[in-house]
Amino acid sequence: MHINGWQRLWLLASILWAVVILALSEILQSDGAHAVPSANMVLFVVRLWIVPVAAIYGLGLGLAWVGRGFQVESKQPVTQRE
């Protein structure tokens, strides 16, 4: 599998966003006791991570699709010039 530069940037941003979200959830939940987080809290954190990540990826796909629509297709095959 080969990923391009934009996908690498998206992957890096997704990982960094996950670190930020996990750190914030740790800060919000820390009350001195190390308890197992509730399912609602876990689901909230996952949604807080996945929604922006998926939206940015979808926006990138949409922009690439629109950009391809503006490209002019060649009607004649490319020939070599001598």
Burial code (b: 16+ CB inside 10 Å, e: under 16) for 51-73 equals eebeeebeeeeeeeeeeeeeeee
Cα gap 50→57, rounded to integer Å: 10
pLDDT above 90 (res 16): yes
Q: pLDDT digits over 47-74, tens only?
A: 989 999 999 999 989 998 998 888 877 6
Q: How far is CA 14 from CA 2, 19, 21, 29, 66, in A?
A: 18, 9, 10, 22, 24
To the nearest whole percent, how much of the chain has pLDDT over 70? 79
- For the entire predicted model, the pTM comes to 0.66
The residues, ordered by sequence, that sit 6+ positions from 18 with a Cβ below 8 Å of its Cβ are 49
